[in-house]
Structure 1
């Protein structure tokens, strides 16, 4: 019985994570976290998959938020939930615009995010980050950019 229940839960969660969903972006919390409203008027917080943007108080944190806002605020987006994080947010791949741009890639391309290699093995994102670093775009113009995960650790110790 326990194995059957586990199998049902696994199949159910897989079906949720592979669906293409859509919603209107009603809030930009920061560069890599947005809130969408679906057709049933339910709001969901989405954390962008595969990347990590600077924190709000970090250099380029506000610019990353502004970039995300300029791309998708009040737009209807498509997204695929890939996981849930420890804060209960859906981790999602967000696509937008007529040409179906991948928001995480656009943030990395424009130097507004790190490719989060701990959670992603995307060759495209790795190459986009290398290119942005070489061109010193966005956060890569800083002589010593600090990954948000490291920055949060240092802030906690203070």
Structure 2
């Protein structure tokens, strides 16, 4: 019991330090914490696997899986800004040295893991979806974002890109949406 009482002041200091360094940055939208039943995993993006601005492969625990970013839809490769969107995602991943945190929300009809993905940076965790939307390199895919914990943040991020006419928002009315493009170009 005496050892416990002696350690109590150190425990209190540790808790205070933890809270101090884990305060959210007040000048950016706050990411929602996933519910406790949602598991987050640290993964490595497979080199050369970023196909477009919303899909890539990761290796988690020696297993490879395809990830579809929850709540966003990036221009297709043949659309204006399709290649730029893919390259922007590549640059975000490169800044994090390929290390990502994957929070799986669902599986889609193609068997891909639909997930929110975070990058670790010196300033804290950074949402890939949020960054893609702020840069105008993707659209908030509201029809498929109901399971995304940060869908409200995605709305704010997209509005930031739109108001600054970044990326797709430089085109009249934001250009052709990827979902419309796919529908018109189905084989």
Tell me which interval the TM-score lies in, with the shorter structure as reference length.
0.7 to 0.9
CA positional deviation for 1:123: 2.1
| 2:100 equivalent in structure 1 | 77
Structure 1 residues 58-103: Cα deviation after superposition (integer angstroms, max 9, x where no partner): 1111111001100114511111110000111000110012221000
**Is 2:173 aligned against 1:146?**
no
164, 171, 185: which one aligns with 1:135: 164
1:103 corresponds to 2:133: no
Deviation of 1:155 after TM superposition, in Å, equals 1.2
**What's the counterpart of residue 155 of structure 1?**
185
**TM-aligned CA deviation for residue 126 of structure 1:** 1.1
**C-alpha distance in 1, partners of 2:159/2:39?**
31
- SS in structure 1 at match of 2:118: strand
- 2:134–2:159 contact (8 Å) kept in structure 1: no
Which aligned segments of 4 or more residues in structure 1 are displaced greater than 3 angstroms?
Answer: none
Q: What is the Cα-based RMSD across aligned positions, in Å? A: 1.8
TM value normalised by structure 1: 0.83
Which position in structure 1 is the counterpart of 2:139? 114
Q: Which has the larger radius of gyration?
A: 2
Asked if residue 36 in structure 1 is aligned to residue 43 in structure 2, the reply is no
How many aligned residue pairs are there?
141
**Deviation of residue 156 (structure 1)?**
2.2
Gaps of 5+ in 2: 1-36
1:22 is matched with which residue? 42
Deviation for aligned residue 1:129 = 1.3
Match of residue 8 from structure 1 = none
> Which SS does the other structure have where 2:186 is aligned?
helix
Q: Tell me, in whole angstroms, the C-alpha distance in 1 between the residues paired with 2:135 and 2:109.
A: 28
